[in-house]
Amino acid sequence: MLIESRKLRSLATVGAYIALAVWMVWSLFPVVWALLTSLKQVVDAFAMPPKWMFTPTLRWYKELWLERSFPQFLMNSFIISGGTVLVSVPVGAVAAYALSRYRGRVGFALLLTALIFRMFPRILFVLPFYNIGRMTGLYGTRILIIIIMVAINQPFTIWLLRSFFLDVPTSLEESAMVDGCSRFGALWRIVLPVIRPGLIATAIFALFLSYNNFLIPLVLTTLDTQTLPVAISQYGAEDIRYWALSAAGAVSIALPIVFIVALAQRYLVRGLTFGAVKG
Amino acid sequence: MKKKEFAAYVAPSVVLMALVILVPLVFIVYLSVQDVRLGGQSAEFAGLANYVETLKNPRFWNALRNTLLYVGVSVPSQVVLGFIVALLLNRVSAIKGFLVGGSLLPHILTPVVAALLVSWLFRSQLGFYTYLLAKVGINIQWYADRTAAKFLLIIYEIWKNTPFAVLVLYAGLRSLPDEPYEAAIVDGASWIQRLRHITIPLMGPLFIFVALMRTMDAYRIFDNVYVMTGGGPGTATELMTYYNYAVAFNQLDLGRGSAIGVLTVVGILILLGPFVYRVYRRQLEGS
């Protein structure tokens, strides 16, 4: 009886591995396919049945990075997403800290409002800011994109960081304050170091949000401030001659993300769940 | 913490949100009752004309239907598929980091890039998935057939965002208490019985959470429509945000575009408001 059930269990485990293998192929194949395409010559790129064996070439990456303006777009993406992180984490952190320590109706209302803002479609910001941008001369500037990104990321930042602050017992900073530390000093020196993983997770998500966003820079940037997603969306997906080139672009854009996920996976689960599940 | 101190700490964030979210919101409501072209200098008060025109337009209702189909098919699929994969992950122990990280990748990928990857695989004749399907006798013109094109977008959504459900539900499974299971095993409950009577009820709030978050994002999806189908063939894959974008930036009708934007927000508030309140009530009251 016991042996029977043990057999059954190991059979179930084997089955689980097989099913997960299928799941992984389904999840990862499109990325692998793009990588292969980006290394092929034009004739091989759209040969069907596909050529699995081919002489790889780096010409598309060369064209992208040396002959086209991809470095410029990378720089724009880098400035915009970096700027978003640098502003949104500190601003969000002080607010989230206060929201975790203050028990009043205003705090409740603020959290609820932030949650409602989180639901708003982005097109809502794009339409008015097109006009506001033209009126103020901010249209097409990276600073305008950064401001919008920081603001639409605030609800997420506040909720996520608040969930980390709630885990820190208030006695920690209170004892520091008894010792003559100001509240801000206690936050800076005692509390923030404790929630470092939370700050890292929040920063990564702010980075992704800003780096990945498409609609906002699509409408509000000009050619010289374009970000990577906007740039690649213009590389004619219909024209098969550009397939391999677009694939090289897609892989280039994905690479930093793959790198961060591989490096910082453990910080991401709680962030993905908006602080609802402690990963 | 005292009220004054609280106000000082939240001020930067509140000012920012007020300026960038609230002001445009008021502005868009103002624009929605104006007769105004995109980039145009003059605006004329139009009353509710933009709203009336929008609600009379079959293209608006088409976009709404398409959006509801997109959300209605993809979100439940993501919850069910995500739960199955989460159960599988919970069953195995080796190469866990790779399995979790690999599952995560499509979800974290830049949407425009993800849409390109999927669109290549389903191109007619030259797409690898189209080719594989043809091999087993399934010939689908993903970009020319109205129904197939709708489902192409849904396939993208399921591929890209099921990982979110996997991750949340897997994290949930790992934090379940042991006691009910020990008791159930003593009582001789089978795996299926334990799943039905213990796991699923305990995971209830997380199912709702996943459905809520995915509905929010799927409702306003834009990138895949823009990259993969451009709303076509015809208007078969025009979802709400894409339709809104087309009216404002292709037809250059900012007034009507704004009206659609306002209606979209009202729509999401009606659709999700009660759920959001229910899901977060405990966290809010705990504060």
Check whether residue A53 and residue A81 sit in a common domain.
no
**Residue-level pLDDT at A7:** 82
Task: Scan residues 59-78 of B and list those with Cβ closer than 8 Å to A.
Answer: none
pLDDT in tens, B201-222: 999 888 988 998 899 999 999 9
* Rounded Cα–Cα distance for residues B120 and A244 (Å): 11
Q: What is the CATH number of domain B55-112+160-285?
A: 1.10.3720.10
CATH code of residue A113: 1.10.3720.10
What value does the mean pLDDT take over residues A16-31? 95
> What is the value of ipTM here, to two decimals?
0.90
Check whether residue A143 and residue A47 sit in a common domain.
no
Cβ-based contacts of A106 with chain B (< 8 Å)? 3, 6
Please tell me which of the candidates B38, B92, B112 has its beta carbon nearest to residue A16: B92
Q: How many CB pairs under 8 A join A and B?
A: 280
Contact B222 A215 (CB under 8 A): yes
Find the domain containing A44 and state its range. 15-57
Contacts 24+ apart (CB under 8 A), A174-182: none
- How remote is the C-alpha of B165 from its chain's centroid? 12
Is B19 at the interface with chain A, CB within 8 A?
Answer: yes
* Rounded Cα–Cα distance for residues B247 and B84 (Å): 41
Does the residue A3 lie in any domain?
no
**Number of separate domains in chain A:** 2
Range from A156-170, B44-58, B59-73 that averages highest in pLDDT: B59-73
DSSP characters over A59-86? HHHHIIIIISSHHHHHHHHHHHHHHHHH
Cβ-based contacts of B165 with chain A (< 8 Å)? none
Does the residue A121 lie in any domain?
yes
Mean pLDDT computed over every residue of chain A: 88
Say if pTM beats, i.e. exceeds, 0.90. yes
Check whether residue A53 and residue A80 sit in a common domain.
no
Check whether residue A46 and residue A150 sit in a common domain.
no
Check whether residue A204 and residue A255 sit in a common domain.
yes
pLDDT exceeds 90 at position A199: yes
Cβ-based contacts of B209 with chain A (< 8 Å)? 273-274, 276
Instruction: Name the closest residue on chain A to residue B117, using Cα atoms.
Output: A30
**Residue-level pLDDT at A240:** 67
Provide φ and ψ at B157, rounded to 5°.
-60, -45
Query: Which of A25, A57, A89 is the last residue in one of the domains?
Result: A57
Check whether residue A81 and residue A208 sit in a common domain.
yes
Instruction: Name the closest residue on chain A to residue B280, using Cα atoms.
Output: A112
Does the residue A191 lie in any domain?
yes
Contact A247 B287 (CB under 8 A): no
Does the residue A279 lie in any domain?
no
Burial-class residue B178 by CB neighbours within 10 Å (0-12, 13-18, 19+): exposed
Check whether residue A52 and residue A106 sit in a common domain.
no
Check whether residue A121 and residue A247 sit in a common domain.
yes
Contact A20 B264 (CB under 8 A): no
Burial-class residue A71 by CB neighbours within 10 Å (0-12, 13-18, 19+): exposed
Q: CA of B89 to nearest chain A CA: how many angstroms apart? A: 8
Q: Where are the domains of chain B?
A: 55-112+160-285
**Residue-level pLDDT at B101:** 85
Check whether residue A139 and residue A164 sit in a common domain.
yes
CB A194 within 8 A of CB B56: no
Check whether residue A43 and residue A81 sit in a common domain.
no
Instruction: Name the closest residue on chain B to residue A205, using Cα atoms.
Output: B108
Q: CA of B27 to nearest chain A CA: how many angstroms apart? A: 6
Tokens of residue A148, six digits: 């919008």
Check whether residue A50 and residue A77 sit in a common domain.
no
Does the residue A91 lie in any domain?
yes
- Spell out where chain B has E strands: 34-35, 44-45
Cβ-based contacts of B261 with chain A (< 8 Å)? 121, 123-124, 127
Check whether residue A214 and residue A141 sit in a common domain.
yes
Contact B9 A97 (CB under 8 A): yes
